[in-house]
Chains A and B, each alone.
Chain A
């Protein structure tokens, strides 16, 4: 912990009893100083319990989103219309599993475990991004997910590369690089469809029509309804408000939609000279909260598939653990039943 704030705590007596009022004050001061200096909190540093809990919640939700997010796209792997597209999609979904792995590792530095987090996902105690509760109904949806969903994710996640918690910030640097690659691929897929046959163009437009509003919802509730926002910004986990990021995303997408030759499904969308931003219509917050509560089109299907994969894979994980235990125990070959008794 080579931070200015950390050096302050390093000067404190090593035997300073945890829990004493003076020790606690010092630690909090050091934590605050690290944040004020825009430096990183690392796993061994002291941090407030609420900061830790908030990070676990956010990183876990992010990890869960990566692995649930594999489903809507994997839905098209076996039907991809060309071998090149199939290869791109396979590589992308593989990247997402990798992102899930980075993020679970980042969460584990906070004292939890992947097993525990997956258990919370499967039992509905932790959430994943509401966007993945929408279905992929045509091939063009794969492009719309790349362009809009990954685009929204990048807008959200680039500031996280400067997040105050080191392991999370570093994971985001790697993830954002791959995500922006996926986003360009999605855009290129839609462009090919948009310039293709009339049926392909219509397919692309229909996908954008269905994914536009759910993508705007990815930035979370409006600022005045966001329960974690203020605290997260104070802790420098979050750097910008939901509405600020949403506006940035809309401003980026409008010219991109034009060059795609596709329209965005919002009659109120127009440039506001005075604000220097695009005005846009009102999000259907009833739908947003409904999906968040588990009543979206695919909530049930997504979590059921995830649980099934986990449950049906239990014997495989148990076998791997039993085999590893045998190896560690040096029972050697033929110790198949021996280790089970151990």
Chain B
């Protein structure tokens, strides 16, 4: 019943990318009914839905999507620690989204150009992710170059999430990507957006001993277990049921 660990490099990679999308989708879903404006209720739910769609395709490459989502324990999830971070205030959500969607957009654009197993998915998803990235960038500009309060909140969020960004560029088995090239493209893009938003790149380390590559190895931060408890509770309460 419990899903087994992936055995091929392709499955390992599908699971890593699928878990990223699944977990971030869940975190965005927590915003529904709490967003600062109606337009953002629509936008955040929309992004959550896109990511959930990606997660379903990716997990299905590995096995049964529901078994994988609902019956794995925390240690078997291989998502980035960045995407499991709680929403915090709207600035934290936007920064998490800026960091991740920039990464995801650059990564999927590269995967779409390969002839690897992820090219079809990446080719389709890259259009959705371009929209997510644009949404995050526009809000980074509004909040960074908005009021003193919003600027300060963005500064704090950028710093708080910065240490989770190094993990994105740890090579993932099964993905044929120039990781250092991806990292420099990401840094360049984020720096340019922050500059326009009158913000600066945080200075702290982004590859701490614990954070670097940890999520990909199933080592997560404390809020993640609680998130999974909520996500999996109903499914686990009715073993074998269909929904």
Contact A318/B33 with A81-B234, A97-B42, A199-B238 known, Cβ cut-off 8 Å = no
Interface size range on A against B: 35 or more
Do the beta carbons of A320 and B32 come within 8 Å of each other? no
Write out, one digit per residue, whether chain A residues 63-82 have a CB within 8 A of any chain B CB (1) or not (0): 00001001100100111111
Q: Give the nearest-CB partner of A331 in chain B.
A: B145
B127: Cβ under 8 A from any A Cβ: no
Say yes or no: A196 contacts B241, CB within 8 Å. Answer: yes
Nearest-CB residue, chain A, relative to B28 = A90
Instruction: Return A291 CB to nearest CB of chain B, in Å.
Output: 20
In this assembly, does A317 line the interface, its C-beta being within 8 Å of a C-beta of chain B? yes
Q: B49 and A78: CB pair below 8 A? A: no
Q: In the complex, which residues of chain B have a beta carbon less than 8 angstroms from the beta carbon of A94?
A: 32, 41-42, 45-46, 49
Q: Which of B51-59, B129-137, B178-186, B217-225 contacts A (4 or more CB under 8 A)?
A: B51-59
Cβ-based interface call for A106 (8 A)? no
Q: Nearest-CB distance from A104 to chain B (Å)?
A: 8
**Are the C-beta atoms of B238 and A315 separated by less than 8 Å?**
no
Q: Per a CB cutoff under 8 Å, which of B32, B45, B149 touches A315?
A: B149
Instruction: Flag if B42 contacts A98 (CB, 8 Å).
Output: yes
Interface contact A78-B230, CB-CB below 8 Å: yes
Output the least CB separation between B103 and chain A (Å): 23
- Interface assignment of B170: CB less than 8 Å from any CB of chain A: no
Give the segment of A220-228, A234-242, A332-340 that binds chain B.
A332-340
A233 at the binding interface (Cβ < 8 Å): no
Given A70-B33, A94-B46, A196-B241: A79 touches B233 (CB 8 Å cut-off): yes
Using known A-B contacts A94-B41, A94-B42, determine if residue A85 contacts B33 with beta carbons closer than 8 Å. Answer: no
A185 to chain B minimum Cβ distance, whole angstroms, is 13
B106-150 toward A: CB 8 Å interface, digit per residue (1/0)? 000000000000000000000000000000000001110111111
Closest chain B residue to A100 by CB distance? B38
The CA-CA distance from A39 to B80 in the complex, in Å, is 58
Do A309 and B29 have beta carbons less than 8 Å apart? no
Residue B98, interface by CB 8 Å? no
- A316 with B32: CB separation less than 8 A: no
Report yes or no: A91 in contact with B147, Cβ–Cβ below 8 A.
no
A315 to B46, CA, bound (A): 23
Interface of A is mostly: helix
Report B-chain residues with C-beta under 8 Å of the C-beta of A322: 146-147, 150
Question: Cα distance A98–B39 when bound, in Å?
Answer: 8
- Most chain A CB within 10 A, of B39, B45, B149, is at B45
Residues of chain A in range 305-330 having any CB-CB distance to chain B below 8 Å: 305, 308-310, 312-320, 322-324, 326
Interface size class of B (residues with CB under 8 A): 35 or more
Closest chain-B Cβ to A322's Cβ sits at a distance in Å of: 5
- Proximity bits, A100-111, B CB within 8 Å = 1, else 0: 110010000000
User: Chain B interface secondary structure, helix, strand, loop or mixed?
Assistant: helix
B163 within 8 A of A: no
- Given known contacts A87-B53, A319-B150, is B231 in contact with A78 (CB within 8 Å)? yes
Chain A residues within 8 Å of B26, by CB = 78
In the bound complex, residues from chain B placing their C-beta under 8 Å from that of A335 are 145
Q: Is the beta-carbon distance between B49 and A87 smaller than 8 angstroms?
A: yes
B72 at the interface (CB under 8 A from A): no
Q: Are B148 and A70 in contact (CB under 8 A)?
A: no
B90→A316 contact, CB < 8 A = yes
- Please measure, in the bound complex, the distance between the C-alpha atom of A318 and the C-alpha atom of B143, giving whole angstroms: 9
Contact A78 B234 (CB under 8 A): no
B153 is an interface residue with CB less than 8 A from chain A: yes
Whether A70 lies near B150 (C-beta < 8 A) is no
A200 CB–B CB distance under 8 Å: yes
Q: Are A313 and B148 in contact (CB under 8 A)?
A: no
Query: B176 within 8 Å of A by Cβ?
Result: no
Could you tell me if A101 and B231 are in contact, using CB atoms closer than 8 angstroms? no
Name the residue of chain A whose CB is nearest to the CB of B39. A101
Can you give 17 A-B contacts (C-beta < 8 A)? A70-B41, A81-B243, A83-B56, A90-B48, A91-B45, A93-B32, A94-B45, A97-B42, A98-B42, A196-B242, A197-B241, A309-B34, A309-B35, A318-B146, A322-B147, A326-B145, A336-B148
Please name 15 further chain A to chain B contacts, defined as beta carbons within 8 Å, in addition to the given A87-B52, A200-B241, sorted by A numbering.
A67-B41, A82-B242, A83-B55, A83-B56, A83-B69, A90-B48, A101-B39, A197-B238, A197-B240, A317-B36, A323-B143, A326-B145, A333-B198, A336-B146, A336-B147
Of all A-B residue pairs in the complex, the 8 with the closest CB atoms, nearest first, are: A313-B36, A319-B146, A319-B150, A94-B45, A316-B36, A97-B41, A74-B32, A74-B33
